[in-house]
């Protein structure tokens, strides 16, 4: 079995609501989608979400990088079984960039390529992506037939400030993430309000999206600790991340890295410098399913925790990939994703993959990514496409 066709698309998907956090305001998303076809007719899809403020990528860069990376030559080999296909996917490399000392420039493009290959071969050999975890990281593997996602509260206005936390509480969510550090907002007042309406039983964590300066970050965290926060995500800019070594000594709340945790170089530096307690693993940001597994392995080896996050504007392709990761990786501290119908106008799936009212969602057990893609919807949101192979 081998790859005979490879196509890359730029898709633009409108969001159902404006998403605001300390780093960005977004009303639509520009994603890269790769289509992979094998010689038996099996077709797979992968998705990446390029963000220039996270990994330095844009759509144009992703297209150019995939065309420059000699992908056809890397895939010019037969896979006789799924094990060989997984090895093939893990070996995929995109052209290195001279200025990229972190090794992350191209992670979204690589994620789209890797997922498309794994999806196609998974369908051909009748294996779901949860099988990838069992093969690559058996010490992490633990299958669950359902998973429960977190709620997220951004910057609601007016009556929605009370509605959102109350809905999560009444629906039975166990975890909620609150975006803080937004310009013009009083974080202490907001967090106090959210805790009041969420109740004391819900696990509440905060995400500052690089909002705070090194000189103030410890004070900002300590101000919010009386409200029972369980972690603080990316409190400073990546350029200032080394200050977190001392900050962690001044606060009680565990620190999670996001924008500063995009690959193995970042993970090694963070562990060596004592910058954090937790990694935020996002498939697109971290370069794909297998690189994210490797980062979870590394975290475990260094007594660090990890969550599975997601990026604003993921369609059903990344939602499905995240579901397979969540249903097969043990000890995930927090879980985000599958916001499909709540956030994007076109999820690209025939059936709805959005989590249920309580945050619970079933594992996907069919082969590959385990869902049917709506090709008409994909065509509708496609802005351009180019052939990489075939």
Number of domains in the chain: 2
Residues 231 and 171 in one domain: yes
Please report whether residue 368 resides in a domain: no
Cβ–Cβ contacts within 10 Å for residue 387, how many?
A: 11
**Residue 256: which CATH number?**
3.20.20.120
Residues 30 and 81 in one domain: yes
Per DSSP, 94 falls in state: P
Q: Which domain holds residue 181?
A: 135-362
pTM for the structure as a whole = 0.96
Please report whether residue 351 resides in a domain: yes
Residues 174 and 117 in one domain: no
Transcribe 174-229 into DSSP letters.
Answer: SEEEEE---TT--HHHHHHHHHHHH-SSSEEEEE-TT-S-TTTHHHHHHHHGGGTE
Residues 68 and 40 in one domain: yes
Please report whether residue 11 resides in a domain: yes
Residues 205 and 342 in one domain: yes
Can you say which residues are annotated as belonging to the binding site? 207, 233, 258
Please report whether residue 244 resides in a domain: yes
Task: List pLDDT tens digits, range 60-94.
Answer: 999 999 999 999 999 999 999 999 999 999 999 99
pLDDT in tens, the chain (390 residues): 999 999 999 999 999 877 765 556 778 999 999 999 999 999 999 999 999 999 999 999 999 999 999 999 999 999 999 999 999 999 999 999 888 999 999 999 999 999 999 999 999 999 999 999 999 999 999 999 999 999 999 887 777 778 899 999 999 999 999 999 998 899 999 999 999 999 999 999 999 999 999 999 999 999 999 999 999 999 999 999 999 999 999 999 999 999 999 999 999 999 999 999 999 999 999 999 999 999 999 999 999 999 999 999 999 999 999 999 999 999 999 999 999 998 899 999 999 999 998 999 999 999 999 999 999 999 999 999 999 998
Residues 301 and 221 in one domain: yes
Can you say which residues are annotated as belonging to the binding site for Mg(2+)? 207, 233, 258
Residues 122 and 244 in one domain: no
Please report whether residue 378 resides in a domain: yes
Residues 291 and 351 in one domain: yes
H helices of 19-81, where? 59-68, 71-74
Residues 170 and 300 in one domain: yes
Please report whether residue 367 resides in a domain: no
Residues 308 and 379 in one domain: no
Token pair listed for 270: 């963070």
**Residue 94: which CATH number?**
3.30.390.10
Q: For residue 21, what pLDDT is reported?
A: 59
Residues 153 and 116 in one domain: no
Please report whether residue 288 resides in a domain: yes
Residues 106 and 150 in one domain: no
Please report whether residue 183 resides in a domain: yes
């Amino acid at each position: 079995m081998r790859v005979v066709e490879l196509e890359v698309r730029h898709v633009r998907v409108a969001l159902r609501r404006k998403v605001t956090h300390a780093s960005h305001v977004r009303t639509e998303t520009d994603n890269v989608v790769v289509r992979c076809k094998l010689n038996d007719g099996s077709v797979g899809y992968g998705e990446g979400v390029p963000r220039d403020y996270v990994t330095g990528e844009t759509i144009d860069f992703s297209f150019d990088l995939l065309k420059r990376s000699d992908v056809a030559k890397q895939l010019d080999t037969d896979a006789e079984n799924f094990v060989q296909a997984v090895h093939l996917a893990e070996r995929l490399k995109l052209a290195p960039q001279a200025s990229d000392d972190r090794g992350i420039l191209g992670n979204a493009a690589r994620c789209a390529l890797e997922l498309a290959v794994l999806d196609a071969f998974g369908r051909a050999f009748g294996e779901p992506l949860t099988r990838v975890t069992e093969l690559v990281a058996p010490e992490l593997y633990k299958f669950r037939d359902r998973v429960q996602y977190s709620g997220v509260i951004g910057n609601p206005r007016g009556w929605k400030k009370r509605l959102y936390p109350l809905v999560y509480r009444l629906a039975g969510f166990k975890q909620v993430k609150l975006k803080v550090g937004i310009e013009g907002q009083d974080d202490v007042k907001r967090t106090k309000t959210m805790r009041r309406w969420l109740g004391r039983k819900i696990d509440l964590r905060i995400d500052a999206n690089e909002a705070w300066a090194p000189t103030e970050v410890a004070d900002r965290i300590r101000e919010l600790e009386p409200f029972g926060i369980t972690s603080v995500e990316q409190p400073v800019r990546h350029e200032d991340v080394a200050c977190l070594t001392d900050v962690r000594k001044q606060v009680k709340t565990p620190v999670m890295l996001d924008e500063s945790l995009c690959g193995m170089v970042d993970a090694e530096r963070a562990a060596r410098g004592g910058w954090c307690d937790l990694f935020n693993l996002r498939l697109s940001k971290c370069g794909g399913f297998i690189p994210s597994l490797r980062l979870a392995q590394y975290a475990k080896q260094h007594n660090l925790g990890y969550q599975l996050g997601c990026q604003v504007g993921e369609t059903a392709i990344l939602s499905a990939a995240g579901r397979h990761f969540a249903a097969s990786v043990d000890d995930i501290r927090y879980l985000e994703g599958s916001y499909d119908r709540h956030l994007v106008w076109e999820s690209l799936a025939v059936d709805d993959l959005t989590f249920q009212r309580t945050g619970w969602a079933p594992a996907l057990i069919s082969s590959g990514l385990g869902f049917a893609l709506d090709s008409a919807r994909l065509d509708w949101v496609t802005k351009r496409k180019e052939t990489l192979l075939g």
